[in-house]
Amino acid sequence: MGAENNPELLLLLRDSNRRQLPTPSLLIDIFGVTLAEARLTLKLLEGLSLTAAAEALGVSRNTARTQLSSVFSKTDLNSQTQLVKLVSDVLSDHWL
């Protein structure tokens, strides 16, 4: 069974006084991702599904899946939930 058959839930609570999301350039600097991968990661951080993120970015789901796979490779992860948690944890100091 693929990862898509194993639903996961992540509840992300943020202080409304904090900046909402990091910039793509910050993700590029910290994680070594491309601009396209950073933009996709930000959409996932906003809580969008991969399909919705692809649509919002104007790319196919397959392109988004390929980009996400590359992000997973660069961060040593294998799920969107892990990615959102990692980015949230690492960048928490930057979201002031």
Q: What is the pLDDT of residues 35-92, one digit of tens each?
A: 999 999 999 999 999 999 999 999 999 999 999 999 999 999 999 999 999 998 887 7
- Kindly state the average pLDDT of the residues 17-38: 85
pTM score:
0.76
65 belongs to a structural domain: yes
16 belongs to a structural domain: no
40 belongs to a structural domain: yes
CATH assignment at residue 87: 1.10.10.10
Domain residues for the domain of 26 are 21-94
SS3 state at 66: helix
| Domains identified in the chain, total number | 1
90 belongs to a structural domain: yes
Is 42:33 a contact under the CB 8 Å cutoff? no
2 belongs to a structural domain: no
75 belongs to a structural domain: yes
pLDDT, residue 93, reads 62
